[in-house]
Amino acid sequence: MGVLDDFSLDGKVALVTGAARGLGQGIALGLAEAGADVAALDIVSVDETGDLVQNEDRRFHAVNVDLLESDAKLAAEVVEECVSELGRLDIHVNNAGIIRRAPALEFGEDDWEAVIKINLSAAFYLSQAAARHFVEEGRGGKIINTASVLSYEGGMIVPSYSASKAGIANLTRALANEWAPLGINVNAIAPSYFTTELTSALREDTERSEALLARLPAGRFGEPEDLKGAAVFLASDAADYVHGAIVPVDGGWLAR
């Protein structure tokens, strides 16, 4: 086998959360292009993602779940459904995320709790459920989290989002420390500003958009397909010795 074979995901099954659009859809498509069958989880329709995955001649399963209701029981049910429908689970991607913007002095309880629940708590419960399955099957697995450049920076008027993404970075390290000996790789991708619904308010603000682009060495916002390579790498055998890494895919944002 050559090095390119190490990047193949043929015969693998991936579960991707927040996969209806944006970064999650881009990641799901990248994994399918590398050979994986895909279960896509979201609160809204994932039909578009399903069409893209099936166009790659990969199997697809839709999981419609509200992660605001997430707990250990729901996470276990999601993993069980994925295994039941697609036969196995090898790769789990915690990508689902929301953002709420308001000054910290005015930030509401609901906006704090919802962001932490979806961005951080659901990621832990689903990682735990996936890891329990990996251990039970005895063949290891890959867990990939979507962190952010705000895992490193405080940002402005997004206190719950910044806190959740810093939490994701350290959760990635904490789980890697425990699960690496079990053959489970836990890593994260840290995007900067991408053309998704999450950043639409920033991109539509001309002054803010120009300031962001001036700071980005790449000179453009990221596109969901820009995450494909990092996701496939971290999901593949090529990353077997990569544990607890946060991989920036940020157009150079953190380097400036």
**pLDDT at residue number 198:** 67
Task: Determine the distance from the C-alpha atom of residue 222 to the mean position of all C-alpha atoms in its chain, rounded to a whole number.
Answer: 15
Nearest Cα neighbor of 130 from 252, 235, 201, 250 is 235
Name the percent of the chain lying above pLDDT 90.
89
Strand order in 246-249's β-sheet?
A: 60-64, 37-42, 13-17, 91-94, 141-146, 184-191, 246-249
Please report the pLDDT score of residue 205 as a whole number.
Answer: 73
Q: Is the pLDDT confidence value at 38 over 90? A: yes
Q: Please state the pTM of the whole predicted model.
A: 0.95
Answer with the residue of higher pLDDT: 139 or 2: 139
Q: For the beta carbon of residue 186, count every other beta carbon within 10 angstroms.
A: 29
Distance (Å) of CA 200 to CA 58, 76, 183, 195, 208: 31, 33, 39, 7, 11
Q: What does R_g of the chain's alpha carbons equal in angstroms?
A: 17
147 has a pLDDT exceeding 90 = yes
If one counts every other C-beta atom within 10 angstroms of the C-beta of residue 183, the result is 14
> Which of 127, 94, 97, 93 lies closest to 115 in space, CA to CA?
97
- Give the catalytic positions in this structure: 161
pLDDT, tens digit (0-9, with 9 covering 90-100), for 193-240 = 898 776 777 667 778 888 889 989 999 999 999 999 999 999 999 999
214 CB contacts (<8 Å, ≥6 apart)? none
pLDDT of residue 1: 62
Mean confidence (pLDDT) of the chain: 95
